[in-house]
């Protein structure tokens, strides 16, 4: 099938699908007026094919149909509950945002819950039980760890560690950064169809969200690993913050957010990621004798693998490049990338919990 044939088939199919996708069902006469109203609305804001798009929205030529373009903000907002080619892009990160919001709230409320539970459970706790629960929790990549930090700590240590107060703010900085990234991405995907200006602005916010997530991911790891070497904490945290602020300033400047500087922007993200190698290698030496090192490293490797695989899908635009038009609604590369970003952030969360447990238990003794 040549280009023109494909185009006409796509247009024809696009029209049929628009009707099935956008209209509400109404089978009786009473609903006739609302049905007509819906038809008129859908005619005013139909889903378009790639060739009908304004130039600023022509980004992925392998996604052929179900585009929104130049929609008012209200219609764009309610398209959250309608099928188009951005529906799953919005929902994957919106659900990720709510997941991290839930984790944040659970961790904020938890100390009181743990304190209360400790009064009842201390005398019934046994080491054997804890070992079993430890293994089960590790199997679920940190998701089972979500709501308790202290249960894996041996009873004796738990009692001794009540005086030990390890700051939680770096952990919450990471949670806030992840929520900001996931929410700004959802908003970008939902509203970027509104206008060229808003599209440019939201794309910049989306880039800033990625930068914020990278920067804030460093905070708990650097803070807890180098807890007992404050000068290294300062060097690494100041370094990544300065680099992050420079990157954000660059991404927000209109002149540097054009296509001409795409390679420069990519280089900035990469240099922020690569910057992490220095404290990571340093951390391995600092924690060489720490028994939790391998578990933490395994979670961090899972995170790196998720991000790298996600970036690979993002850049190669697989699978839609193999079968253009087949993955318009579900299964295209950007959706896979989004899911892998959430998986990567969850792995980092699990690694952070492990490190926090270790510091809560031992303070600086084992460093
Ligand atoms: Zn995205």
Between CA 174 and CA 216 the distance in angstroms is 5
Binding residues for Zn(2+): 189, 334, 338
Say what the pLDDT of residue 147 is: 39
Binding residues: 189, 334, 338
The percent helix, strand, coil of the chain (3-state, each to 5) is: 75, 0, 25
Say what the pLDDT of residue 289 is: 65
Say what the pLDDT of residue 284 is: 77
The predicted-structure confidence for 122-139, as pLDDT tens digits, reads as follows 433 443 344 434 433 443
Between CA 277 and CA 332 the distance in angstroms is 31
Environment of ion ligand 1 (residues, CB < 5 A): 185
Going from the Cα of 85 to the center of ligand 1, the distance in angstroms, rounded, reads 12
The predicted-structure confidence for 280-308, as pLDDT tens digits, reads as follows 788 777 766 666 677 777 887 888 788 88
Going from the Cα of 25 to the center of ligand 1, the distance in angstroms, rounded, reads 32
Low-confidence ranges of the chain (pLDDT < 50): 1-27, 112-163, 366-367
Going from the Cα of 79 to the center of ligand 1, the distance in angstroms, rounded, reads 17
Dihedral of alpha carbons 246, 236, 178, 337, sign: positive
DSSP state of 56: G
Going from the Cα of 89 to the center of ligand 1, the distance in angstroms, rounded, reads 6
The predicted-structure confidence for 190-248, as pLDDT tens digits, reads as follows 999 998 889 888 888 888 898 898 889 888 888 888 888 888 889 989 988 888 888 88
- A 10 A CB-CB count for 356 gives 20
Q: Where in the chain are the domains?
A: 3-84, 88-362
Going from the Cα of 339 to the center of ligand 1, the distance in angstroms, rounded, reads 10
Going from the Cα of 14 to the center of ligand 1, the distance in angstroms, rounded, reads 24
Going from the Cα of 146 to the center of ligand 1, the distance in angstroms, rounded, reads 26
């Amino acid at each position: 099938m040549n280009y023109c044939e494909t185009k006409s088939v796509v247009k024809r199919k696009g029209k049929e699908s628009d009707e099935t996708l956008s209209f509400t069902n109404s089978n009786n006469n009473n609903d006739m007026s609302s049905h007509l109203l819906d038809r008129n609305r859908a005619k005013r804001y139909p889903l378009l094919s790639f060739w009908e798009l304004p130039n600023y929205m022509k980004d992925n030529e392998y996604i052929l149909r179900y585009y929104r373009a130049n929609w008012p903000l209200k219609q764009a907002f309610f398209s959250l509950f309608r099928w188009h080619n951005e529906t799953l892009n919005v929902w994957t990160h919106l659900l990720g945002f709510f997941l991290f919001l839930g984790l944040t709230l659970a961790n904020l409320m938890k100390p009181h819950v743990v304190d209360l539970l400790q009064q009842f459970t201390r005398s019934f706790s046994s080491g054997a039980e804890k070992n079993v629960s430890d293994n089960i929790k590790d199997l679920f990549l940190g998701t089972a760890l979500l709501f308790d930090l202290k249960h894996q700590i041996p009873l004796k240590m738990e009692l001794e560690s009540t005086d030990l107060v390890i700051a939680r703010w770096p952990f919450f900085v990471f949670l806030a950064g992840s929520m900001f990234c996931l929410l700004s991405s959802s908003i970008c995907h939902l509203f970027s169809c509104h206008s060229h200006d808003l599209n440019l602005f939201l794309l910049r916010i989306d880039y800033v969200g990625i930068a914020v997530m990278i920067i804030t991911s460093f905070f708990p790891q650097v803070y807890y690993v180098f807890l007992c070497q404050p000068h290294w904490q300062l060097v690494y945290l100041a370094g990544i913050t300065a680099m992050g602020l420079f990157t954000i300033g660059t991404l927000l400047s209109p002149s540097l957010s054009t296509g001409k500087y795409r390679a420069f922007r990519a280089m900035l993200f990469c240099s922020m990621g690569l910057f992490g190698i220095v404290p990571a290698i340093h951390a391995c030496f600092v924690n060489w004798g720490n028994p939790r090192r391998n578990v933490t490293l395994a979670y961090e490797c899972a995170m790196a693998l998720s991000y790298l695989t996600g970036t690979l899908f993002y850049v190669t635009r697989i699978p839609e490049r193999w079968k253009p038009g087949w993955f318009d609604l579900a299964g295209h590369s950007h959706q896979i990338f989004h899911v892998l970003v959430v998986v990567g952030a969850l792995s980092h969360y699990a690694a952070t919990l492990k490190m926090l447990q270790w510091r809560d238990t031992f303070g600086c003794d084992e460093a």
